[in-house]
Homo-oligomer: A and B are copies of this chain.
Amino acid sequence: MAKTKYVYFFGNGSAEGNAKMKELLGGKGANLAEMTNLGIPVPPGFTISTEVCEAYYQNNKKYPAGLDAELKENLKKLEELMGKKLGDADDPLLVSVRSGAAASMPGMMDTILNLGLNDKAVEGLVKKTGNPRFAWDAYRRFIQMFGNVAKGVAHDVFEHILESAKKAKKVEEDTDLDAADLKKIVESYQKAYEKALGEKFPQDPMKQLQASVDAVFGSWNNPRAIKYRSLNNIKNLKGTAVNVQSMVFGNFGEGSGTGVCFTRDPSTGKNEFYGEYLMNAQGEDVVAGIRTPMAINTLKRQNRKIYEQLVQYKNKLEKHYRDIQDIEFTIQQGELFILQTRNAKRTGPAAVKAAVDMAKEKLISHEEAVGRVTPDQIDQLLHPMIDPVHRKTATVLAKGLNASPGAAVGRIVFTAEEAEAWAVRGEKVLLVRRETSPEDIGGMAVAEGILTSTGGMTSHAAVVARGMGAPCVAGCKAVSISGNNMKVGNKTYKEGDWITIDGSTGEVFEGNLGLVTPKITSDLSTFLKWADEIRMAAVRKGMKNKGFVVRTNADKPEDAKVARAFGAEGIGLCRTEHMFFGEKELIAFQEMIVAEDLAARKKALSKLLPYQKKDFKGIFEAMKGLPVTIRLLDPPLHEFVPKTPAETKELAGKLGVNAAVLKRKIDGLHEMNPMLGHRGCRLGVTYPEIYDMQVEAIVGAACEVAKKGVKVFPEIMIPLIGTYRELEMLKANAEAVAEKVLATQKTKVKYTIGTMIEIPRAALTADEVARYADFFSFGTNDLTQMTFGYSRDDVGSFVPEYIEKELLEHDPFQSLDQTGVGQLIALAVEKGRSVKPELKMGICGEHGGDPASIEFCYRANLDYVSCSPYRVPIARLAAAQAVIANRS
């Protein structure tokens, strides 16, 4: 049997490991090896493998035999390569000892720097650098870090000594202490160390190293590391590796320096070398912002040789890693070292631009390009953002739910009427309300954005705002509204005051921060075209269509047009009730609601028919050639009647009925739990004439449009089915009306009739329901409400606390609960297709625009997702990524 190898060396242009050995060497160790092999000047060192960690824990915290010898051998090799020795009195080698597992666990495990310093070596460092302050500060830091991290001496012990020294000298900053001060502190640290541990601070660098290696392996199982792995579902790792690497310093003097650079501009994505650096500084100085770093171009003038080396290395690294690199470098006494490279974080526009450019440069494939942009980054491209300059300095006033993305600036108004009045005067307004109701639609339409103090992600305000593409912050509990005032903490804002909201983050700011509107580039369309190619070529087992379609939820022709421009391939949900909120429509509908008998109801409905038909025609024309799913009336009737006595009286006047009678009628509509009440197909059962009118309007509109030569594919959707018998009856009713219209119009239009699956019972009995359905559309908003027993209007009182206490991983109205609700969907898909193998299925709940939910829908073999117009591009990308992620 071959002897197990425990330690892997890297340095001088070659390494024993490489990037593929992450599992054995950890991410950090593997990448240091990889860079070394590439000829990148990485400070040399060696990695103790994760197998040692595994053995250490399996063998009661004892190291495998042979490790010690390998360690010494590698150390010797390192000293030879560096021409320095640990603890040397003239030119000591200093090393860092760092953790590094196969999965990233930032900050969870231990790190020790400057190892190798002792009372002799510190003098060697003084000699070598000619900088006693630097040397003593490094020694001080090492004792503190070693004492605390490797030996468990309380942090306070050292901090207290440091603070006392500063107090004694009456200074505030560590930098105000000189070499002599630091030397004294080192003495005090050593005493404190001895007092705390009953042993002297070890002068033997090998002992220092051994204890540090112990500490890093020990930190693998510290509570926060265990918690982190559990939370992030990191499993089946052997343990951490330990990286021992020679230290380099950017603060050795004026010939030294440190910096960060990017292979392309991470803000714009442009292929321009971008970065910042500081001479005679440590990495933390660049980040801390005390000194102003210099642009990387300056280095070209300052030290052309180093600059050219850096350009050479960054080009090599980007080419090797095939993505924008974020590179840390240090110049030590005129010599360039690369400390780290990683894929750069970037803005949405940058992500798209770089992905498209790199694919065009043939650096990556189209598919890789599609994988390089997150759906959230696409979202950034579609909405105005707060001016980043002003945002930096602005303080967040309050934080609510990020209910509809994009930022908005406007003057506060507290009613929809005021919103409309101010808008007429050309004012930009922001509508602020406890919650909105359908009567506020007019005001919402003219407002720049909406802020509500109650309600969740699927409250009226949130849903309507998303539909309109208007920014919205909902359920912002810190905001308390009374009359014409809005209070946040102890600040009061009145009508007309300026505020700024960011619907992408849920933040609310005081004043007008100004907006910037990202431009939609041709890069984005190229990018989405590539995504669509992947999405539409997806092959799924047992599916009729290969592709995975993205539709939109749109209620009006204008919305349909927007969505189509964004790439929607049909309408998955057209809510007919929103069409009743026009002034004339509403009064006719109210007349229908309060009608005393069938004849009166039919008369009122006949007034509505032409309005509905006109809307449907507009939508069919906008979506010509694409399917349009139209949902018949869903909300309970009481949503359409006045709530206050004054409004009731007004309506009575308009309708010419007795106000008291009207009030009794309206009171009779009241429900304890409207969500679970007389709505959806239940209205279709008790008032068949309503659905009859709607079907007549749909099929009538389809015929008229078809006669013009426009291809129409109406899909009539019956909501809230709980038993197959409801669908059986209502489908028969609808067919009878549709056939009558077709006969009268003497036109052939192919229409289908399907149902929403949004009641748990419908999912459970999907095999029965499927017999009467041409399609299923999962209404995951209501399905989530009923599966969880959560009213989306009321969850604000406990769901935020649930998420905080980790009782819920996320808001189930934002991202589909795959365990519970998803189980019902999977069951319904299986049961439905067991009866009708080619049953078309899609999702039309709010989840249709959420990337994780879209992936679930793909895996659940749904034919399509449908989301609000402004999320269509996001869904197109998420769908393509789902296809890629699920290739077997």
Q: A675 and B672 in contact (CB under 8 A), knowing A761-B788, A789-B722, A824-B764?
A: yes
Alpha-carbon distance A151/B77, docked complex (angstroms): 115
A87 vs chain B, min Cβ distance (A): 52
Cβ–Cβ contact B761 & A787, under 8 A? yes
Copy total for this chain: 2
Which listed segment binds B: A212-220, A335-343, A624-632, A791-799?
Answer: A791-799
B residues within 8 A CB of A795?
677
A382 vs chain B, min Cβ distance (A): 31
Cβ–Cβ contact B720 & A789, under 8 A? yes
Alpha-carbon distance A785/B805, docked complex (angstroms): 28
A760 at the interface (CB under 8 A from B): yes
B residues within 8 A CB of A798?
678, 682, 685-686
A801 at the interface (CB under 8 A from B): yes
Alpha-carbon distance A802/B726, docked complex (angstroms): 9
Instruction: Choose among B676, B782, B786 the residue that contacts A760 (Cβ–Cβ < 8 A).
Output: B786
Cβ–Cβ contact B676 & A791, under 8 A? yes
B residues within 8 A CB of A820?
722-723, 760-761, 764-765
A806 at the interface (CB under 8 A from B): yes
Alpha-carbon distance A819/B768, docked complex (angstroms): 10
A581 vs chain B, min Cβ distance (A): 19
A613 vs chain B, min Cβ distance (A): 28
Cβ–Cβ contact A806 & B722, under 8 A? no
A671 at the interface (CB under 8 A from B): yes
Alpha-carbon distance A447/B798, docked complex (angstroms): 39
B residues within 8 A CB of A678?
794, 797-798
Within 8 A of B (CB), among A766-789: 768, 782, 785-789
B residues within 8 A CB of A676?
673, 675-676, 785-786, 789-791, 794
A674 at the interface (CB under 8 A from B): yes
A51 at the interface (CB under 8 A from B): no
Cβ–Cβ contact A671 & B725, under 8 A? no
B residues within 8 A CB of A793?
671-673
Cβ–Cβ contact B807 & A685, under 8 A? yes
Instruction: Choose among B675, B758, B764 the residue that contacts A787 (Cβ–Cβ < 8 A).
Output: B764
A716 at the interface (CB under 8 A from B): no
**A676, A795, A805, A823: which has the most chain B beta carbons within 10 Å?**
A676
Instruction: Choose among B761, B807, B817, B819 the residue that contacts A817 (Cβ–Cβ < 8 A).
Output: B761
A736 at the interface (CB under 8 A from B): no
Q: A759 and B674 in contact (CB under 8 A), knowing A686-B797, A723-B807, A808-B723?
A: no
Q: A801 and B685 in contact (CB under 8 A), knowing A672-B674, A725-B806, A807-B725?
A: yes
Cβ–Cβ contact A672 & B723, under 8 A? no
B residues within 8 A CB of A722?
788-790, 820
Alpha-carbon distance A823/B823, docked complex (angstroms): 14
B residues within 8 A CB of A807?
685, 723, 725-726, 729
B residues within 8 A CB of A788?
722, 759-761
A712 at the interface (CB under 8 A from B): no
A821 at the interface (CB under 8 A from B): yes
What sequence of 0s and 1s flags, for each residue 752-766 of chain A, a beta carbon within 8 Å of any chain B beta carbon?
A: 000000111100110
Cβ–Cβ contact B672 & A794, under 8 A? yes
B residues within 8 A CB of A674?
672-673, 791, 794
Alpha-carbon distance A808/B765, docked complex (angstroms): 14
What sequence of 0s and 1s flags, for each residue 802-816 of chain A, a beta carbon within 8 Å of any chain B beta carbon?
A: 100111100000000
**A720, A802, A808: which has the most chain B beta carbons within 10 Å?**
A802
* 27 A-B interface contacts by CB (under 8 A): A671-B791, A671-B793, A673-B674, A673-B791, A676-B785, A676-B791, A677-B795, A678-B797, A682-B798, A685-B807, A686-B797, A686-B798, A686-B801, A722-B820, A723-B820, A725-B807, A729-B805, A759-B787, A759-B789, A760-B789, A761-B817, A761-B821, A764-B819, A764-B824, A786-B786, A786-B787, A786-B789
Question: Which A positions have Cβ atoms within 8 angstroms of B?
Answer: 671-678, 682, 685-686, 720, 722-723, 725-726, 729, 758-761, 764-765, 768, 782, 785-791, 793-795, 797-798, 801-802, 805-808, 817, 819-821, 823-824
Q: 5 new A-B pairs (CB below 8 Å) besides A761-B817, A765-B823, A782-B789?
A: A673-B676, A725-B808, A760-B789, A761-B789, A786-B787
